Amino acid sequence: MVPGPRTYRVRVSRSAEPAAPLGLAAGLDAAVELLGGLRLAVLTGAGISTDSGIPDYRGPDSPPRTPMTYGQFVSDAAFRRTYWARNHIGWRHVDRTRPNAGHRALAQLEERAVVVGVITQNVDRLHHLAGSRSVIDLHGTYADIVCLGCGARSSREALAMRLEALNPGFAERAAVADVEIAPDADAVIASTEGFVVADCERCGGMLKPEIVYFGENVPRERVDRAFALVDSAQGLLVAGTSLAVMSGLRFVRHAARAGSPVVVVNRGDTRGDGLADLRIHAGTSEALPSLAERLPDP
Ligand SMILES: [Zn+2]
């Protein structure tokens, strides 16, 4: 049978049923055995940033949440006002977060040339802050703003000053207790009525965070760079993601198809479990530093 465009051949050794996940100690032994001496690409998600204080809305203990779509953002002015009002509060919390031991372990592994680069689904820039240099922000970053009219880019920090001038005292009036930190720098506040949205200073166009929202595609050039990163490595380490969205899962499929070992470190099951050679059910802040300690230089 000729495989269709959506099918692919997996290694004979891979079974349809994923192998049972291992705990931290046994998992680390197996990971060192499997990945030792190899150059690794890493794919990370929200789970790696939870210990930095950014909640993972897809984690096993997370409340259900309806994500904002690109269509809502561009078509509904009231929705957009609420979005920006919340973002005006929420982005500061993300901006104040700092990398944790998991981010730092990956930066050290890159320094030692064990890790060739990180593809992250997070928009928090914590890998950059931890010192990783080869990072692909697959879903963009909260820290940059783009104009949907003319394409002009600016920093979130500069926009914060403009929003503050347009809405004096708004951030102070929104009680801290009402604010809930969200991965996309969104925040929940009681009321956003009267909030004034800032438009592009150059063309008056609509401004949007440089974040890939549901209903949007990751730019092709970025996807290609991520595939190239996976191709330049000899194994793939997946850390802190349930691989719920295809934008991340496709790189696991790509590595598996190429016959590269795939190791998944996550607190719960993932959509990529059937493609993994090894699954470790553990937190990334514990697992990654231990792994960095034990993996030999290639
Ligand atoms: Zn513009």
> With bands split at pLDDT 50, 70 and 90, how would you rate the model's confidence at 60?
low
Q: Which pLDDT value is given to residue 58?
A: 61
What mean pLDDT do residues 262-270 have? 96
Q: List the catalytic residue out of 127, 139, 254, 281.
A: 139
Q: What rounded mean pLDDT belongs to the chain?
A: 87
Amino acid at 149: G
Gap from CA of 200 to ligand 1 centroid (Å): 5
What are the structure tokens assigned to 193, written together? 């009525």
Element at 44 (helix H, strand E): strand 40-44
Gap from CA of 199 to ligand 1 centroid (Å): 8
Indicate if 139 belongs to the active site.
yes
Strands 207-211 and 140-147: antiparallel
Helix extents (H) in the chain: 24-35, 70-75, 77-96, 101-111, 126-130, 156-166, 170-173, 220-231, 246-257, 284-294
Gap from CA of 90 to ligand 1 centroid (Å): 24
Gap from CA of 268 to ligand 1 centroid (Å): 42
> With bands split at pLDDT 50, 70 and 90, how would you rate the model's confidence at 5?
very low
What are the structure tokens assigned to 44, written together? 């990370």
Cα distance between residue 28 and residue 36, in whole Å? 11
Residue carrying structure tokens 């079974």? 15
Q: Is the pLDDT of residue 4 over 50?
A: no
Q: Is the pLDDT of residue 182 over 70?
A: no
Gap from CA of 151 to ligand 1 centroid (Å): 6
Percent of the chain with pLDDT over 90: 68
Gap from CA of 146 to ligand 1 centroid (Å): 8
For residue range 82-130, list pLDDT tens digits in order. 889 888 888 888 889 999 999 999 999 999 999 999 999 999 999 999 9
Percent of the chain with pLDDT over 70: 85
> With bands split at pLDDT 50, 70 and 90, how would you rate the model's confidence at 193?
confident
For residue range 10-56, list pLDDT tens digits in order. 443 455 567 789 999 999 999 999 999 999 999 999 999 999 988 77
Q: Is the pLDDT of residue 262 over 50?
A: yes
Q: Is the pLDDT of residue 3 over 70?
A: no
C-beta of residue 206 within 8 angstroms of C-beta of residue 197? no
Amino acid at 288: L
Q: Is the pLDDT of residue 177 over 50?
A: no
Gap from CA of 156 to ligand 1 centroid (Å): 15
What mean pLDDT do residues 214-231 have? 95
Candidates 104, 116, 119, 113; CA nearest to 235 is: 116
Higher local confidence (pLDDT), 235 or 59: 235
Amino acid at 117: G
Gap from CA of 15 to ligand 1 centroid (Å): 51
For residue range 273-292, list pLDDT tens digits in order. 999 999 999 999 999 999 99
| Residues linked to residue 146 through DSSP beta bridges, in sequence order | 153, 208
